[in-house]
Amino acid sequence: MMSSFLFRAMDARAGIFLAIMAAVIILIPAGNLLVPEGSAFHVPNYALTLMGKYLTYALLALAVDLVWGYCGILSLGHAAFFALGGYAMGMYLMRQIGTRGVYGDPNLPDFMVFLNWQELPWYWYGFDMFWFAALMVLLVPGFLAFVFGWFAFRSRVTGVYLSIITQALTYALLLAFFRNDMGFGGNNGLTDFKDILGFNIQADTTRAGLFVASGLALVICFIICRSITRSKLGKVLVAVRDAESRTRFLGYRVEHYKLFVWTLSAMMAGIAGALYVPQVGIINPGEFDPANSIEVVIWVAVGGRGTLVGAVLGAVLVNFAKTWFTGALPDIWLFALGGLFVFVTLFLPKGIVGTFSQGWTALRQRRISQALEAGSGEAPDAPPHSPSAPANVTHATPAPKATDPQPAE
């Protein structure tokens, strides 16, 4: 059962993606650790960390694409789940500081000493253990998403109304985490981390390890998403996306399906956040900024909504552009991002990967029809199809036989 579930995930496109990811996961850390600094193939430290960060963004984009691209839930609040995962990891990293903080308190993080707190709040218990923190990375975003989704999907909140309440959710969390008495470090957040699992967080090898972990997390989540979207459940999701009420009349409980992918997606966003925090060295309430969630949606739209590879590609490309712009033309970036979104919406509604595969399909169609015209007489291959494939691409196939069945002549 499980093997057929995973087997379904594999095809040529997934194979290419996984091969590229394998190369990235091996070559980039190797270029950083093994290649001497003078060499043209040396990957500098900052580049390694930057790319590690991109990988976590790519995972976040993947999570958004799962709910938006395949189930039509436009989440404008996924940064909240990302940040919660980040905070869970941040709390673990804070507890690892021990007596090395400025105040040297063995039990309390610096900001609590600063606030004159006497003891650790109950909700910080357990975060000194990695396994507990790792569990919370999944459970906290997952639980929040479950509760949120339970109410929202049962009351059939959809479309723009749902998007707005996801924005409200992340904004509410932003305000809450800004408060000092919440016990999460207020507007400074959590920082000054020292080590993770006993390794110095600044060490080259640790950074390389975090990069590899981010790459592996992305690969695993990609395979999970792909197995899901290609299963019958994935077909139901696309049915919900395209005709929600029709799906109900077939007997599917739409709210259960939405709740399932929504919760899973939030957990993936949490993992992304947890891998992001040790690489950037800080988590603060700014990560809950509603604009962050909107940016993720733009990555997915650019790469190709409803194509998992597109989400990853979009996240990496847009963030690469962002890094370049904020270095070279910092004032322009937001305009460039807005312009990019408008451009993609108007001219590339299927995103980069969607447009590319549409072109590819059209080309194959033309070849098939040319072959038919040339009289080879071979019945064409079944036209390629996928749930996310554009709905207007397969009409060009002429009937292979004159007796193409019709409902009536």
Return the number of the residue (98 or 383) whose C-beta is nearest another protein: 383
Report, in Å, the least distance between residue 247 CB and another protein.
8
Distance CA 172, CA 39 (A): 49
Shortest CB 405 distance to another protein, Å: 4
Burial zone of 229 (CB within 10 Å; 0-12 exposed, 13-18 middle, 19+ buried):
buried
What is the C-alpha to C-alpha distance for residues 91 and 80, in angstroms, rounded to an integer? 16
**292, 285 Cβ separation under 8 angstroms:** no
Min separation Cβ 306 and another protein, Å = 9
Least distance (Å) between residue 67 CB and another protein: 14
Q: Which sign, positive or negative, has the C-alpha torsion 328, 334, 337, 343?
A: negative
Only one residue has tokens 């959590």, namely 190
Q: At what angle do helices 308-328 and 290-303 cross, to 10 degrees?
A: 120
Quick one: 250 or 346, whose CB is closer to another protein? 250
C-beta of 93: minimal distance to another protein in Å?
Answer: 35
CB-based burial, 262-272: b 16+ in 10 Å, e otherwise:
bbbbbbbbbbb
Of 154 and 179, which CB lies nearer to another protein in the complex structure?
Answer: 154
Give the number of other Cβ atoms within 10 Å of residue 254's Cβ: 19
CB of 307 to another protein, least distance (A): 13
Helix (H) or strand (E) holding 219: helix 204-230
Q: Least distance from C-beta 358 to another protein, angstroms?
A: 12
d(CA 260, CA 245): 18
Q: Which is nearer to another protein, 204 or 242 (CB)?
A: 242
Residues that bind another protein (CB under 8 A): 1-2, 4-5, 228, 231-233, 235-236, 238-239, 242-243, 245-246, 248-254, 256-257, 260, 382-383, 385, 387-395, 399, 401, 404-409
Q: Quick one: 26 or 147, whose CB is closer to another protein?
A: 147
Nearer Cβ to another protein, position 214 or 229?
Answer: 229
**Residue 160: CB partners within 8 Å, gap ≥ 6?**
74
Residue 99 burial class via C-beta count within 10 angstroms: exposed 0-12, middle 13-18, buried 19 and up = exposed
Nearer to another protein, 126 or 380 (CB): 380
CA–CA separation, 33 and 24 (whole Å): 14
Q: Looking at beta carbons only, is 246 or 367 nearer to another protein?
A: 246
CA distance 280 to 272: 12
Residue 227 CB, nearest approach to another protein (Å): 8
Closest residue by Cα to residue 64 from 293, 234, 322, 339: 293
Nearest residue (CB) to another protein, 234 versus 278: 234
Sequence length of the chain is: 409
Report the nearest approach of another protein to the CB of residue 376 (Å): 19
Whole-number minimum distance, CB 230 to another protein, in Å?
11
Cβ-based nearer residue to another protein, 254 or 269: 254
Query: Which residue is associated with the tokens 């007796």?
Result: 403
